Amino acid sequence: MKKNIAVVAGGSSSEYVISLKSAGLIMDCIDTTRFNPYLVVIEKDQWYVKQADKTIPVNRADFSWEQQGNTIHFDGVYNIIHGTPGEDGKIQGYFDLLSIPYTGCNVLTSSITFNKSICKQLVRSHGITTPQSVVLRQHLPYTLDALVKDLHFPCFVKPNNGGSSFGASKVDQSEDLATAIDKAFEHDHEVLIEEYIQGRELTCGVYWTGEMARALPITEIVTNNAFFDFQAKYEGASEEITPARIDEETTERCQRLTERIYTLLGCRGLARLDYIVRDGELYFIEANTTPGCSPESIIPQQIRAADLDIKKIINDQLIS
């Protein structure tokens, strides 16, 4: 008997539209001889199953819905919500309470990796290099003069929780710091100020094979923007080169480091880890535990470069 699978997309963050695009590819990949996939859109005020031009409400009490007088329950979930509540542990906790299996990371790993500062502190405690940083919290006072005294410019200012670079700024001089902090606070209650590492930007996909982590080919990000912001990521203002133009030794180190961090954090499913390489040193930047999966996204590019079958990888997650 085929299992009913909810491909859960949407969310309540700025990455809503990207999530829906990713869901389209996932829906196309799911093996319909084994599964009945349904697109479930989660928004702040409504949850619904989307079928062609109609929407059917989802009962949040048990994550079921009605079809032609029958109550439909889901046997599993493919989570493709970027940002909250799909990448920060909230939706995982909900499905855990209902005993519904889901793809990707569990509550703890999702919560840790969504918080950039906590994630880097954990990784750094295992001897892995990360940029130096400081966190500001909205309810705690800080002195701009003290920050300027301790910081080196340029630096990055960004929301501590979230993705897609909304609210992020590269600050070249101290006079622009206050504006950048205010901008980041518009998107989160915590702000991360991070050392600027000038180097080559790399990102490495990784997935769980059922037995171990396996790194994908590395992508090099080249952008004329100040950094890899939303426009660079999703609106074509960057060049994504897969495999990256780095030597074999650096490639091997980056892939093994990616597998190590993925395993250390307890990740599952498809993920993507970002780095800056400077003078041969790999600086871990962040982990994306629900990365974009539209046809143009980096993860599908890397899967194609590895000559792997994306449909097999997607379906294997549903049975692992």
d(CA 76, CA 96): 11
pLDDT tens-place string over residues 9-21: 999 888 899 999 9
* Same structural domain, 65 and 180: no
> Which CATH number characterizes residue 65's domain?
3.40.50.20
- Residue 289 belongs to what domain range? 111-129+198-319
Say whether both 54 and 119 belong to one domain: no
Out of 45-54, 155-164, 172-181, which region has the weakest mean confidence (pLDDT)? 155-164
Whether residue 150 is found in the same domain as residue 227: no
Residues 256 and 123 in one domain: yes
Residue 235 CB burial class (10 angstroms; 0-12, 13-18, ≥19): exposed
Between these two residues, 94 and 187, which has the higher pLDDT value? 94
- Are 228 and 281 part of one and the same domain? yes
Question: 121-161 pLDDT, tens per residue?
Answer: 999 999 999 999 999 999 899 999 899 888 889 999 999 98
Single out the residue in 156, 180, 195 at which a domain terminates: 195
Would you tell me how many other CB atoms lie within 10 Å of the CB of residue 124? Answer: 15
pLDDT digits (tens, 9 = 90+) for 231-274: 445 455 679 999 999 999 999 999 999 999 999 999 999 999 99
**Residues 275 and 299 grouped into a single domain:** yes
pLDDT surpasses 50 at 83: yes
pLDDT for residue 52: 87
CA angle 244, 248, 251 (to 5 degrees): 55
Half-sphere exposure of 228 (CA within 13 A, CB side): 22
Verify that 312 and 265 share a domain, yes or no: yes
Q: What CATH number should be reported for the domain holding residue 314?
A: 3.30.470.20
Q: For residue 243, say if its preceding peptide bond is cis, omega within 30 degrees of 0.
A: yes
Q: Are 92 and 220 in the same domain?
A: no
- Give the pLDDT score at 232: 45
Q: How many domains would you assign to the chain? A: 3
